[in-house]
Amino acid sequence: MTDTFIDSQSVREYLLGLQQRIVGKFEELDGQPFLRDAWEKPADAPLGGGGMTRIIEEGNVLERGGVGFSHVMGKTLPPSATAQRPELAGRGFEAMGVSLVFHPRNPYVPTVHMNVRFFIARANSGAQRPDHHPSPLGEGPGGVGESNRPAGRRNAPPLGEGHGGVGEPDKAHQAPAQSADAWWFGGGMDLTPYYATEEDARHFHATCKKALAPFGADKHPRFKKWCDEYFYLKHRNEPRGIGGVFFDDFHEMGFEQSFAMMRAVGDAFLDAYVPIVERHKHREYGPREREFQAYRRGRYVEFNLVFDRGTLFGLQSGGRTESILMSLPPKVEWKYNWQPQPGTPEARLYSEFLRPRDWA
C-alpha cells in the first residue's frame, strides 16, 4: 500500500481498452451497434469526473447490455464505503473502473456481470481535485482508440473508480494508518443462468481459475468463496446465480502485481463468457422459458437494489443514475410464493446449481 509510484494512467488506459474490446466483440456477436453515451459531472456537482456508457437495447442476442467506464472523484467517502472501514471516514476519494451486465434475450444464455476497478482514499482530502474532470472520451493518453498496453512507468494523474463501487473489505488485509493514501483494486465476474448446464458452469469457473493461477494457488478458492458469499440474497436464502470470483480491497502484492491480477480477471471475461453465448444463442425457446427468465431476473433486481455495495456507493456519492442502474434487466416478473414443479428444468436450477459447488 505504500509503493513509491502508483501508475494510475496505465490503469485508466487499460480500462478504456478493455471496454472497447468487449463492446467490439459483442457488436460482432449481436449484429447491432452499442450506443455511445459520454457524460461529465457539472463543475458544482458533489461528485466530479465523467465516463462513457456503451449500451445496447433490443439487440439480436442482448435484450439489454451495458459496458460502463467511469472515472470519478469526491470530497468525502459515502457511508457505504466506510461502513466496514471507519478509519477512512472523511477522506476524499478518486476511483475508476469498468462494469458490465449483459441480459441476453434467449433464456438459455445466462446473464453475466463483470467489474474491475481501482480506488484511492486520500489521506489528506485537501489534496483532492474536485474540479478535475477527466475526459469521458479518454482523449489523448489513455483514449478509447489507444492500444491496450501493459502497465508502464508514466506520469500519472489521480486515480479513479467505476460502477461496482466498494465491496466488503477482505478482513485479512486492512488499510494502513490514516497518514497514507489507501489504494486497492477490486473486481470479479459471476454467472446467472436460468437453464443451467454443467458444461457452462465448469467452463466459466475453470476460466476464472486459470486467470488467477499465476498469482498463487490460494487466490481462486479464496475469491470463489467470497463471490458465493457476496452474491447471496439473505432474504431469499439463495444465491443470485452460480458465482464466479469476487475480490476487493486488494493490495497485498504491491501495485504492479495487484494491477496485473486485475488485468488477468478483466482479460479472462471474453474467454469465460463468449463460448457460452455461442453455444446457446440459437436454441429454440417459448413463452414458458421467457416467463421463468423474467421471474428469475427479479432476483437480480432485488440483489442490486438491496445489497449491492456498488449500486449503493454510486447513488450515495451522487453518481450518474442512468449509468448505475443500467445493470437492471428490461423485463421482469414477480409471482407470489411461486415454486417450480418437481422434476422440471426449472426445479433443476434450484436443486443442482443454486448451491456452492467446486465447478473448476
- Provide the annotated active-site residues: 113
List the beta bridge partners of residue 50.
40, 71
- The Cα–Cα gap between 54 and 41 comes to 17
Burial label for 335, CB within 10 Å (0-12, 13-18, 19+), is: exposed
Give the integer Cα–Cα distance in Å for 176 and 12: 24
CA angle 270, 151, 166 (to 5 degrees): 65
Interatomic CA distance for residues 184 and 92, integer angstroms = 15
Q: Are 52 and 138 in contact (CB under 8 A)?
A: yes
